[in-house]
Structure 1
Amino acid sequence: MTGKIAYFGKDGKVGFVSHELPEPGPGALLARVLSSNICGSDVKNWKSGVSLGVGGEKTCQGHEFVGRIERLGEGVTTDYAGQPIQVGDRIVAAYYITCGECRACKMGRYDQCENAYIHLGQSPEDFPYFSGTFATHYYIHPKQHFYKVPDTLPDSLAAGANCRFSQIYYGLEHVGLAAGETLLIQGAGSMGLYAAAIAREAGATTIVIDSVADRLEMAKRFGADHVINMTDLPELADRERAVRELTGGRGADVAVEVTGVAAAVEEGFHHLAPMGRYVIIGTNVLSAKATLSPGYITRKSLTVTGVARYLPEYLHKSLLFLDKFQHKYPFDEFSTGTYTLDQLEEGMQMVADRKVIRAVVTPEL
């Protein structure tokens, strides 16, 4: 049996190849892709090839997915939470590998594994061929954490657990967001909306800043207590004044940047209270530059944390959160476009133009 793989070429075009499905080796498995979301990093790779694992003549892409097990390698009997698995079960997988041998892994910081991306962006001509989820199938390598999807959680929500939900969930817990604190969320895309729901369940007050009115209205439905429209307040000084008014003059205890716009980082410093904690997630490419005033960090004694990945167990925690609260928050009402594998470029453009919050690719065998 053959499967189909989409790849990104150096010219930014999407191409396709077909291969016989590989037999998974010991500790590996092969899943049929049921749906795969287009992540912001996918769009960046498509447009400019700025992330790790990009730059070859052909690179497999896609990582935020839900799949169904088709073939199990020797020794694979449970997921990484210890749940028994079998052919036919739905699963999600972390998009990176944890080697367990590098310095970071030995420190328990599996999110910083030095060998995390050894399979990312492989050519579709290199075995095991199916190394990205923009394909009919996806090969899950040994030491790549995967988890069984709860029976009551639909594919459309399960796919979002990796990487966006897990990333923001880990980031907020990593800096210790606590009940009674105020969280400022910069950006009301899918990650910002997830952050609002997570913060609401943690007992925090949330302020969301964005320039798209529809997204801010959606943020309210995801638990945001206050929203600030940058179109109404185009000057930073006015937004800073608004945040202070909403926080009793102090500023936010925690802020999270999920815009992907480097200039937003400087603004985040302005909105934070003394001893505030700042989580930067959205701006993740080295080419993005902005003017920064480090004196804000010094004078306010700020703690600034970058989050590139998440601890793999957060993927399992995210599935449980989504399953528990799927009817409390409108996860299924994201402005979603659904595209076939052949329409991948169209879906990429829709996300790039911010015309949809989430775009889903559903491969057809």
Structure 2
Amino acid sequence: MTVRTQADVTDAGRADSQPRAQVWVGGEDFELRDFERPQLAEGESLVRLTTATVCGSDRHTVSGRRSGACPSVLGHEGVGIVEETRSDLPVGTRVVFAVTSVCGGCRNCERGLSAKCTSVAKVGHESAESAWPLSGTYASHIHLPAGVAMVPVPDHLPDAVAATAGCAVATVMAMLESAGELDGRRVFVNGIGMLGLTAVAAAKARGAEAVMAFDPSPTRARRALTAGADSLVGADETARDVDVALELSGSEVGVRACLDSLGIGGTVVLAGSVSPGPDIEISPERIVRGWHSITGVHNYEPHHLQEAVDFLATAGGTLPWEEILGGPISLADLPREFVEPSAGLRTVVEIGPR
């Protein structure tokens, strides 16, 4: 396949630009480094990034709460322009991309669980000294292997909003698939961060009869109402008789609250518990007699990324973006962001023009 570049379709002169990235080198320290432009293999692309958003998991990595490759180019929520490619996607296409690079041929990939590919590599999680140094979004460019799904972005969708598709919003789409049909059902959302707000709005968009929400922070809890929640669960209350409980806090108390909230035939979908925590006792008898289901979701499949873009382009407009998005900041200012975080759930990093 012929390598196509942005220089083939525009006079912008970007095809010869040298990639530059903020490299996390441990603790709260970053270094701005230049990288060689990668030689693309079949199916690969080089995307010139326009915007990234700062996910909470990167803050956990920098603070030491979460392990990560070091040195590395962090960041896994972003949007950009295909600048050079050996894929079928046209040069100049504005895209978001999945967080996982997968083989497509292992048992997990073949049964629709590519998020758990046996040879998975992850955007924003690989060493800057590995064979995939430009893996993160805190950079001018990101190198996308053939195993990373890309989805075009509608022109009307703002960069900062589109960037959230690649982690938060696509993960919620995977949760809702695991939850099953929501039309006419009662939904409880526990944990009102970026994912929780998305879950509230998406559940309403899918026809939920009532959406209840809880967060220990009154400010975050109130945001759920602006996203479409019908009611808030008080700190001294417990949601009851719900059909679907979506757990996004990762806390022991939150998981227990979701389990206790289920009515007959109810389903709990856990997505917040991504780090070790206390074990929780469950009653097998209650699960059996209540026809309950408990499932977990970690990352997502390519079709969930497409669903995320579709949601953001339509019902996602109801989300309180003026409260969600903090910043913007420049790529040069990124290190300070991890010391003095901006207000909002997602800090916008403006990297380059569309």
TM-score (norm: length of structure 2): 0.86
Residue 131 of structure 1 pairs with residue 135 of structure 2: yes
Kindly indicate whether the alpha-carbon contact (under 8 Å) linking 2:76 and 2:123 is maintained by their aligned counterparts in 1. no
Residues 206 and 277 (structure 1 numbering): CA distance in 2 closer, same or farther, change over 3 Å?
Answer: same
Residues 257 and 345 (structure 1 numbering): CA distance in 2 closer, same or farther, change over 3 Å?
Answer: farther
Task: Report what 1:48 is aligned to.
Answer: 64
Q: CA RMSD in A?
A: 2.4
Cα distance in 2 for partners of 1:364, 1:49 equals 31
Residue 267 of structure 1 pairs with residue 261 of structure 2: no
Among all aligned residue pairs of Structure 1 and Structure 2, give the percentage whose two residues are the same amino acid.
Answer: 27
Greater Cα shift, 111-120 or 257-266: 111-120
Residue 176 of structure 1 pairs with residue 180 of structure 2: yes
Greater Cα shift, 192-201 or 40-49: 40-49
Kindly indicate whether the alpha-carbon contact (under 8 Å) linking 1:59 and 1:123 is maintained by their aligned counterparts in 2. yes
Letter in 2 for 1:266: R
Task: Report what 1:247 is aligned to.
Answer: none
Cα distance in 1 for partners of 2:252, 2:129 equals 36
Q: Deviations over 1:57-105 (max 9, x none)?
A: 41221111111111112xx123xxxxxx22x221111010231111111
**Alignment partner of 2:213 out of 208, 217, 227:** 208
- Give 1:350 shift: 5.6
Residues 27 and 259 (structure 1 numbering): CA distance in 2 closer, same or farther, change over 3 Å?
Answer: same
Task: Report what 1:144 is aligned to.
Answer: 148
**Alignment partner of 2:85 out of 72, 77, 86:** 72
Cα distance in 2 for partners of 1:137, 1:30 equals 7
**Alignment partner of 2:297 out of 303, 307, 312:** 307
Kindly indicate whether the alpha-carbon contact (under 8 Å) linking 1:165 and 1:318 is maintained by their aligned counterparts in 2. yes
Residue 277 of structure 1 pairs with residue 267 of structure 2: yes
Task: Report what 1:356 is aligned to.
Answer: 344
1:1-365 mapped onto 2 (5 Å cutoff):
1-48=17-64, 50-51=66-67, 54=68, 56-73=69-86, 76-78=87-89, 85-86=90-91, 88-117=92-121, 121-204=125-208, 205-230=210-235, 233=236, 239-240=237-238, 243-244=239-240, 251-285=241-275, 287-295=276-284, 297=287, 300-349=290-339, 355-363=343-351
Q: Deviations over 1:169-199 (max 9, x none)?
A: 1211222042111110001111111111111
Which consecutive residues of structure 2, in runs of 5 or more, have no partner in the other structure?
A: 1-16
Residues 185 and 271 (structure 1 numbering): CA distance in 2 closer, same or farther, change over 3 Å?
Answer: same
TM-score (norm: length of structure 1): 0.84
Residues 57 and 102 (structure 1 numbering): CA distance in 2 closer, same or farther, change over 3 Å?
Answer: same
Greater Cα shift, 342-351 or 155-164: 342-351
Task: Report what 2:13 is aligned to.
Answer: none
- Give 1:327 shift: 4.1
Greater Cα shift, 125-134 or 155-164: 125-134
The number of residue pairs the alignment matches comes to 335
Cα distance in 2 for partners of 1:183, 1:299 equals 20
Q: What SS does structure 1 have at the residue aligned with 2:137? A: coil
